[in-house]
Structures are given as structure tokens and as C-alpha cells.
Amino acid sequence: MNAPAPSVASRRAPGPADRLGLRNLVRFARDQLGLLRSVADEYGDVARIELLGQSYFLVSHPDDIEAVLVKHARVMLRDSHSVVLERALGKGLLTSNGELWKHQRKLMAQAFVPRRIQSYGAAMARVTDAGLRPWRDRAVINLHQEMSRLTMEVVADVLFGSGLAPADVEQVRESMETVNEFFANSPEAITMLPAWVPTPRNRRVTAAVARLDELIYRIIAQRRAGESRDDLLGTLLAAQDDDGERMNDRQLRDEAMTLFLAGHETTALTLAHTLYLLSTHPEVERRLHAELAAVVGDRLPTADDVRALPYAERVIKESMRLYPPAWTTGREAAEDVEVGGYRIPKGAQILTSQWVVHHDPRWFPNPEGFDPDRWEGERGKAIPRFAFFPFGGGPRVCIGNHFATLEATLMLATIVGRWRLDLLPGQRLTLKPSVTLRQAGDGLLVRLSAR
Ligand code: HEM
């Protein structure tokens, strides 16, 4: 008698044969971006990768990504590696699950309604303008470092208003950098080594988190003791749930830290990558500058200008397509699920990779080309919804997505309106994937020319 045909949902996804996952680990350690792309190319839209005895399912078709992030959202948890982030972020929005996440998301959403986001626009442009004052004609700057400094100043101002002195901002930046470097593939982070093991890196990160704690708790205490303010922290302090309950100090601290970490590096990278692309595509830069000159002229850009800057929007979108700051979005299946005709068992890790999908020629002809006009009109409309998902999707979509888009547009408009940036000869972009997709080495050097 013939064995019954396996039901679709019991099909095992194909992938590189490697039972223990050691060979995959070596490939992954050498070239994470290359491994993901070659696995998707070779094994298709749902592929299984074994890494140290853990199954990862790489899901690469827009419809299947939608299934993971939207349709099956109810049975998805944050991926297992987010535990490492808890060392700095505690149980903030990015790292929590279940009822806690739901409760916090509702409270945090009050700080990200459109009217509030628009109100942050003035600070975004004003702080960027002030941050550009040290720039000098013909000077050479480090693109990533400067964008990191500027976005830190913007996030600090929007989050805490004038509650942070410049020396505090610098201290936050240094401590955040230590935390970021820890997350960026340190052996301690990869092996999830407990915090109490006294390696030098473990000690450094514990000290950096303690410095950040001291500062954030100090600001929260000042606010609780004094007048209310109209910045993001003020909104979070006032936010109430359905029972009229507000966040306690610990919860506020975790959320403030999460916003600092999630909101600063990603936008800095978006700007650094966009300015790099403009410096290597002078015709795009000219068109962008012409749009800015016509709409904004010599004044500071405002949130209301953004609607009149469609080319700037396309430039930023195309930059985030080519170099997505968040290059993978992970989930853990809390139950068995079926995706793309394959069974994904409970406990498996699911990877959707912006890096892989944003470069897929099925959705993006000439995928390596920088072509902002691919987003225009009918061409733009033909791109499937989840072929481009720089902010993730579904209920856990980036809560800061509109904030980030406004911030990136206003900062880009302020910079490009006044300065031209030319890459120094011999500089080439090499990517280094860590939690975010960074520029490798010390960062790219550009020469400034005042307009
Ligand atoms: C270009 C800039 C940014 C990019 C590319 C980005 C990307 C992302 C992505 C991919 C996620 C995960 C979504 C998912 O799992 O489905 C996320 C989550 C999150 N982002 Fe962003 N983000 C950016 C800016 C910001 C900003 C400016 C803020 C805050 C001011 C922010 C706060 C958050 C928070 C709190 C979460 C967790 C949301 C949750 O799990 O409910 N992000 N972001």
C-alpha cells in the first residue's frame, strides 16, 4: 500500500545540509549578508538554516513575510536573541512580549500620534541647524560619526527637551556606543554569556548601562518633582491606561532607553547611507537640491514642507531599500505554523531579511542600482507591499516609523540645503552587519563645500 502523501503543512523546508550547524556558523561568522542571500537564491522563499542546533527559517517572499508579521502575529514572539538586548533595555517595547508588550504599546502610542510627531518637527530642524554650526567649508568629516552625533542631539532634545546638558548628551552617546559595540557580534552577546561573568567587555557594558541609568532616573525624578513639559518624556509621564494607571519609574527608564537605542543609530545610518549615495550620484543630488531650493529656500524646513518634497521622500526610500538599517527582523514561533506551504515548528526562529528581499530582482529590476524614480507613480505602485519593509510590519511595526521618516527628511533637507558632500578619493562603502547595518571600519570621509 502506498504511504499517504504528506500534507502541505508537514513539508520540511529545504536548506544547506548541516545537522550540527557548525559549517553554517563558520559561513555566518565570515559573511552574514552573503550567507542569507545565497541560501535564499539556492533554496527558495522558505529555507531552513541550522545554526548550533537551532533551526532558523529564512522567509523571503513578500506574501510569506506578510503571513509571518501580520497574519500569524498572534503566535509570534520576539526572537531568542532579543534577550541579549534586555541587558540594556530591560523590558521595553522592543524586548517585551505578550500582555506587557500590549499594555506598553498602547501607552507608548500616545507619544507617536500624528499630531505629536508633527510637533517634534521644529526641534528636529532647529537642533540639526545648531549641530551643523561647527562645519567649515572644505573641511573633512567622518560621515557616520557626524550623523550619529546629530541624531543623538535630535533624539535627546525631542525626548528630554532642554533637560540634558551638552555634556550629558556626549556621555549618553559614548555609553550607547559601548552598548552598541557589545551587541555588535561580541562573543559575550553571541553566546549570551551571563552579565556576572567578569570579562572586560561585560564589565564595560555594565558600567555604561549604570551611567545611563543614573542619568535617566535623575531626569525622571526632576520631572516628577517639577512642572510638566511638552516633550516625548512629558507625554510618556502623562500617558494613562484604561484604568488610569501610569508607568512606574522602571518602566519609564526601560522605554526611554529603548527609544534612545532604537531611534538614534537607525536614523543616523539612514542619513549616512543617503549622503554617501548622493555623493556618488551627482545627478540625483542636483535634483534633490533643486527641489529643496524651490520649496524651502534659505529658511529651516518644517514638518509641513515634507508633503511638498516628493523627490526627497523617494531618495530616502531608495537609500533604505539598498542599505536597510534594520537588515533582518526576527520572530520565534510560539506554535506550529504553516508559511509558504512549509511547516515551521514551535520554538523555531524565523528570519525575514530586508537585506535579501530589498535586493530581489523579481521586485526590483537592476537591484543594485540607486534609482529613486522606481518609487514614482505606476512603477512604485507595482512593488508588492512586503517587498519593502524597512520598519518591519504588523502589530509590532516600528513605532517610530513616521517619526523617523520626518526626522530623516528634515535633517537631510537642512544638510543638503546648505552643504555639498564629496566622498574623498579612494573611499569605498563596505557594510558591516551588526544589530544594524553599519559602515565598516572608521566610517567614510567626505569633504564639505558650503553652497
Ligand atoms: C530609519 C529609522 C528606523 C528604522 C529603519 C527602524 C526599524 C525598526 C524595525 C525593523 C523594527 C522591528 C519591527 C518588527 O519587529 O516588525 C523597529 C521596532 C521599533 N522601533 Fe524602529 N526604526 C527606526 C527608527 C525608530 C525611531 C526614530 C524610534 C523611536 C523614536 C524607533 C523605535 C522603535 C521601537 C520602540 C520599536 C519596537 C516596537 C515594538 O516591538 O512594538 N525606531 N524599528
Contacts of 450 (CB under 8 A, 6+ apart): 137, 418, 419
Q: Is residue 338 part of a domain?
A: yes
Q: How much is the average pLDDT of 280-285?
A: 97
Same domain, 319 and 343: no
Ligand 1, residue 264: give the atom nearest the CA.
27
Same domain, 136 and 8: no
Ligand 1, residue 393: give the atom nearest the CA.
16
**pLDDT tens, residue by residue, 338-366:** 999 999 999 999 999 999 999 999 999 99
- Judged by average pLDDT, the poorest of 4-13, 57-66, 114-123 is 4-13
DSSP 346-413: TT-EEEE-HHHHTT-TTTSSSTTS--GGGGSHHHHHTS-GGG--TT--GGGS-TTHHHHHHHHHHHHH
Ligand 1, residue 232: give the atom nearest the CA.
30
Length of the chain: 451
The separation between the first and the last C-alpha atoms of the chain, rounded to the nearest angstrom, is 81
Q: How much is the average pLDDT of 417-438?
A: 91
- Quick one: pLDDT band at residue 9, thresholds 50, 70, 90? low
3-state secondary structure 228-269: CCCCHHHHHHHCCCCCCCCCCHHHHHHHHHHHHHHHHHHHHH
- Judged by average pLDDT, the poorest of 8-22, 114-128, 289-303, 376-390 is 8-22
Same domain, 116 and 244: yes
Q: Is residue 237 part of a domain?
A: yes
Q: Is the dihedral of CA 282, 269, 38, 47 positive or negative?
A: negative
Please determine, for residue 6, whether its predicted confidence score (pLDDT) is greater than 70.
no
Q: How much is the average pLDDT of 382-387?
A: 97
**Parent domain of 27:** 1-87+332-358
Same domain, 189 and 131: yes
Nearest to 292 by CA among 380, 419, 402: 419
Q: Is the dihedral of CA 431, 432, 437, 439 positive or negative?
A: negative
Same domain, 60 and 113: no
Task: Tell how far the Cα of 114 is from the centroid of ligand 1, in angstroms.
Answer: 16
Task: Tell how far the Cα of 353 is from the centroid of ligand 1, in angstroms.
Answer: 15
How far apart are the C-alpha atoms of 257 and 92, rounded to whole Å?
A: 8
The residue whose CA is least distant from atom 16 of ligand 1 is 392
Q: Is residue 291 part of a domain?
A: yes
- Quick one: pLDDT band at residue 185, thresholds 50, 70, 90? low
Task: Tell how far the Cα of 393 is from the centroid of ligand 1, in angstroms.
Answer: 10
Nearest to 314 by CA among 229, 235, 380, 361: 380
Q: Is residue 61 part of a domain?
A: yes
Q: Which residue did the predictor score with more confidence, 9 or 348?
A: 348
Q: Answer for the pair 273, 323: CB distance below 8 angstroms, yes or no.
A: yes
Task: Tell how far the Cα of 406 is from the centroid of ligand 1, in angstroms.
Answer: 14
Nearest to 411 by CA among 312, 290, 323: 312
Contacts of 124 (CB under 8 A, 6+ apart): 154, 158, 406, 407, 410, 411
Give the residues across from 431 on adjacent strands: 439
Q: Domain containing 349 — which CATH number?
A: 3.30.43.20
Contacts of 243 (CB under 8 A, 6+ apart): none
How far apart are the C-alpha atoms of 152 and 155, rounded to whole Å?
A: 5
Mutate to test the pocket of ligand 1, among 119, 398, 435, 438 (most ligand atoms within 8 A of CB): 398
Same domain, 209 and 348: no
Task: Tell how far the Cα of 75 is from the centroid of ligand 1, in angstroms.
Answer: 20
- Quick one: pLDDT band at residue 325, thresholds 50, 70, 90? very high
Task: Tell how far the Cα of 54 is from the centroid of ligand 1, in angstroms.
Answer: 26
> How high is the pLDDT of residue 5?
47
Q: How much is the average pLDDT of 191-212?
A: 86
Q: Domain containing 232 — which CATH number?
A: 1.10.630.10
Q: Is residue 377 part of a domain?
A: no
Task: Tell how far the Cα of 303 is from the centroid of ligand 1, in angstroms.
Answer: 20
367-17-14 Cα angle (round to 5): 55
Residue 354: all three cell numbers together: 530586508
Q: Answer for the pair 158, 125: CB distance below 8 angstroms, yes or no.
A: no
**pLDDT tens, residue by residue, 249-260:** 999 999 999 998
The residue whose CA is least distant from atom 21 of ligand 1 is 398
Same domain, 256 and 400: yes
Same domain, 308 and 338: no
Q: Is residue 364 part of a domain?
A: no
Same domain, 209 and 257: yes
Same domain, 297 and 191: yes
> How high is the pLDDT of residue 434?
82
Ligand 1, residue 331: give the atom nearest the CA.
15
> How high is the pLDDT of residue 1?
43
The residue whose CA is least distant from atom 31 of ligand 1 is 400
Q: Is residue 120 part of a domain?
A: yes
The residue whose CA is least distant from atom 17 of ligand 1 is 398
Ligand 1-lining residues (CB < 6 angstroms): 69, 93-94, 105, 258-259, 262-263, 266-267, 270, 325-326, 329, 390-393, 396-400, 403-404
> How high is the pLDDT of residue 30?
80
Q: pTM of the predicted model, to two decimals?
A: 0.93
* DSSP class of 423: E
Same domain, 158 and 32: no
Same domain, 121 and 207: yes
Nearest to 438 by CA among 261, 87, 194, 184: 184
Task: Tell how far the Cα of 330 is from the centroid of ligand 1, in angstroms.
Answer: 13
**pLDDT tens, residue by residue, 93-133:** 999 999 999 999 999 999 999 999 999 999 999 999 999 99
Q: Report how many domains make up the chain.
A: 2
The residue whose CA is least distant from atom 26 of ligand 1 is 263
**Which of 16-25, 169-178, 261-270, 307-316: highest mean pLDDT?**
307-316
Q: How much is the average pLDDT of 162-177?
A: 80
Task: Tell how far the Cα of 23 is from the centroid of ligand 1, in angstroms.
Answer: 32
Give the residues across from 54 on adjacent strands: 51
Q: Is residue 384 part of a domain?
A: no
E strands, 134-235, are: 140-142
Please determine, for residue 43, whether its predicted confidence score (pLDDT) is greater than 60.
yes
The residue whose CA is least distant from atom 1 of ligand 1 is 267
Please determine, for residue 313, whether its predicted confidence score (pLDDT) is greater than 90.
yes
Average pLDDT of the chain to the nearest whole number:
90
